[in-house]
Structure 1
Amino acid sequence: MQFLVAVCANSYLGFLLRPGIYGGWLKNFCFPGLNCYSCPLALMACPLGTLQHLLASVRALPQTVARAALYFGGTFLLYGLLFGRLVCGWICPFGFLQEMLYRLPGPKIAHLPRTLRHLKFFLLATLVLGLPFFLVGEVGYGQVWFCRVLCPAGTLEAGLPNLLLEPSLRGLIGFVFYWKIFLLVMILIFCVLYLRFFCKIFCPLGLLYGFFNRVGLFRLRWQEKSCIRCGLCEASCPMELEIPKEINSRECIRCLNCLFLCPTKSITFNKSYRWEKEFDLVPFSVTKIRHEARRKGPGRDPSGKDHSGLS
């Protein structure tokens, strides 16, 4: 699915006949995932780039930006309420690239400190929201700072291909380009070593979608009665989440590994906009319960269930 979506989102071949990026009517729409607007193959706009452009232009073109902001806000609410971070697990081309890179053979990093995930909040507040709005030039325009100094998707999909296709751009290469190449290489290396490295540590778009996970249409549900606390759900989670405690947290990318691998089908995928405390605020982890049960005695967990048949 991720591969097919990536191909469909980047299927413009007109650049082979005429240099430059696609500027047709589809570019008026935002693609849900992280996919650079300036990629020669891209058919749609990037939501993160669009948001930065709106904030960067609000002082210079307030009336135009106000109308555009309503359109963008509606589009983003639609994606968020309909999908949440399912976009990250099934649609985002850069997420697909990370999955493929991690499959390369070699040493792997099992865990990184979870505090590093707070870096996404800093990047969202500064490069995506703060600097484009507050740091403006003489004519009142800001810049798309996340795209300019960090975004690895932009470097990989737009920066490098456009340099190959248009040699005249090579004279514009400076420090920022080399900095972004360095970041791209480092991020790709860590994606080989650590599953979904960029998603977990850096991606502000995933963070924005994550805020919709508890209120969106599609949510995961854990059924306590049928769960045998085997821990397969947590072991298979690419985001290293505690299940069911974090099953609908902002870090869940809706990959559905836990649902597919659960031997008793205790995890389901439901459609509901209704917030339900008993499902959305489960305070414990099945693995921690199992460890606690083993510590207290064989065959029994803190809820009183007998699991003496578990290996």
Structure 2
Amino acid sequence: MNIIRKIREHVRLIVQITFTALSNGYVNGFLQGTIYKGTSKKICVPGLNCYSCPGALGACPIGSLQAVLNARQYQFSFYIIGILMAIGAFFGRFVCGWLCPFGLVQDLLYKIPLFKKLRRLPGEKYLRLIKYGVLLLFVIIFPISIVNIVGIGTPWFCKLICPSGTLLGGIPLVLKNPLLRETIGVLFSWKVLVLVTILVLSIKLYRPFCRYLCPLGAIYSFFNPIALYHMEIDQTKCTKCKVCQKNCGLDIPVYEKPNAMECIRCGKCIKVCPHDAIKSSIMLKKSEK
């Protein structure tokens, strides 16, 4: 019974670890320092999982979107956009909370009891808007408008920002390939600096990358208020005690905004509600009177 109870308490963590292991299951890639190039690489995984990760069996939707935005044939880009819309319409930011490998990394780091935890940074309201700017500029505008002499753009988010790509792709490949180690320069050092900053901040602040920088989270956030998977508040039970907000890592007033754009659907508010007033549902929302 104790084992069953512990499993129930850590269901989300188990799902996160399992999905990360399955989507990065090409073990030979890690052993040999190579990238898997099989047919499954044409399929996008739902979370931010670097295409260049030695173990990755699928493609990153953000990387794929950048790669095709300046293409002359748009069928594949429509496929990517369609995948993002379908996942968002069904699950919203549930993907961020349960299926994203870099989300798992941040969650594990936040469990380290080294520093006093922060609930938010100064200017939190405005800092959370940065990810929409990253989506607009680095994922959409720059890859389309900044092209080389033959008209090919650059995946600027992957090149300059993405910490998941550095951690899961860049560093393992550099460690296993001596030739790559000889070619790394200022750009790689910059990306490592970005990664280290986010990792250190993740020990003190819950999911800083998801809060401020992730363009994939920005896309899914638009669907949160309308996604089929959603949160509901039983107003006959809710006393607005704010226990849900006090226990929310993202400091969301769940009792007021159960489907806020920032919510990653971790489900902690459901567990801590003393009145059992919060629940999740996959059904269509009931119209409010």
Q: TM-score, normalised by structure 1?
A: 0.84
The DSSP-based 3-state class of the residue aligned with 1:221 is strand
Q: State the distance in 1 between where 2:83 and 2:269 align.
A: 29
- Within the alignment, does 1:25 sit opposite 2:34 as a pair? no
Q: State the distance in 1 between where 2:45 and 2:118 align.
A: 31
- Residue in structure 2 matched with residue 110 of structure 1 by the alignment: 119
- Residue in structure 2 matched with residue 204 of structure 1 by the alignment: 215
The answer to whether the 8 Å contact 1:214/1:275 transfers is no
Deviation at 1:230, TM superposition (A): 2.5
Name the CA shift for 1:275/1:25 in 2 (closer, same or farther; >3 Å). farther
Deviation at 1:144, TM superposition (A): 0.2
Name the CA shift for 1:236/1:37 in 2 (closer, same or farther; >3 Å). same
The DSSP-based 3-state class of the residue aligned with 1:268 is strand
Q: Which has the higher Rg, Structure 1 or Structure 2? A: 1
Q: State the distance in 2 between where 1:19 and 1:109 align.
A: 38
Deviation at 1:19, TM superposition (A): 4.3
The DSSP-based 3-state class of the residue aligned with 1:105 is coil
Return the letter of the residue paired with 1:12. Y
**Structure 1 residues without counterparts, runs of 5 or longer:** 279-311
Q: Which has the higher contact order (CA 8 A, sep 6+)?
A: 2
- Percent identity between matched residues is 39
Deviation at 1:17, TM superposition (A): 6.6
Structure 1 segments (4+ residues) deviating >3 Å:
16-19, 272-278
Return the letter of the residue paired with 1:27. K
Q: Which range is displaced more, 265-274 or 139-148?
A: 265-274
* Partner residue of 1:97 out of 86, 92, 105: 105
The answer to whether the 8 Å contact 2:45/2:60 transfers is yes
Q: State the distance in 2 between where 1:131 and 1:171 align.
A: 29
**CA deviations over 1:131-181 (Å, ceiling 9, x no partner):** 001111110110000000010000001111001111111222111111111
**Structure 2 residues without counterparts, runs of 5 or longer:** 1-14
Q: How does 1:73-84 map to 2 (within 5 A)?
A: 73-84=81-92
- Within the alignment, does 1:230 sit opposite 2:244 as a pair? no
- Residue in structure 2 matched with residue 11 of structure 1 by the alignment: 25
Return the letter of the residue paired with 2:92. G
Q: How does 1:1-311 map to 2 (within 5 A)?
A: 1-15=15-29, 19-55=33-69, 57-58=70-71, 62-63=72-73, 66-107=74-115, 108-112=117-121, 113-274=124-285, 276-277=287-288
The DSSP-based 3-state class of the residue aligned with 2:151 is coil
The answer to whether the 8 Å contact 1:216/1:272 transfers is no
The DSSP-based 3-state class of the residue aligned with 2:129 is helix
Return the letter of the residue paired with 1:148. K
Q: TM-score, normalised by structure 2?
A: 0.90
Q: Which range is displaced more, 89-98 or 162-171?
A: 162-171
Return the letter of the residue paired with 2:118. I
Deviation at 1:263, TM superposition (A): 2.1
Q: State the distance in 1 between where 2:30 and 2:253 align.
A: 48
The answer to whether the 8 Å contact 2:119/2:250 transfers is no
RMSD of equivalent CA atoms: 1.5
Deviation at 1:211, TM superposition (A): 0.6
Q: State the distance in 1 between where 2:33 and 2:204 align.
A: 36
Q: State the distance in 2 between where 1:111 and 1:19 align.
A: 38
- Residue in structure 1 matched with residue 10 of structure 2 by the alignment: none
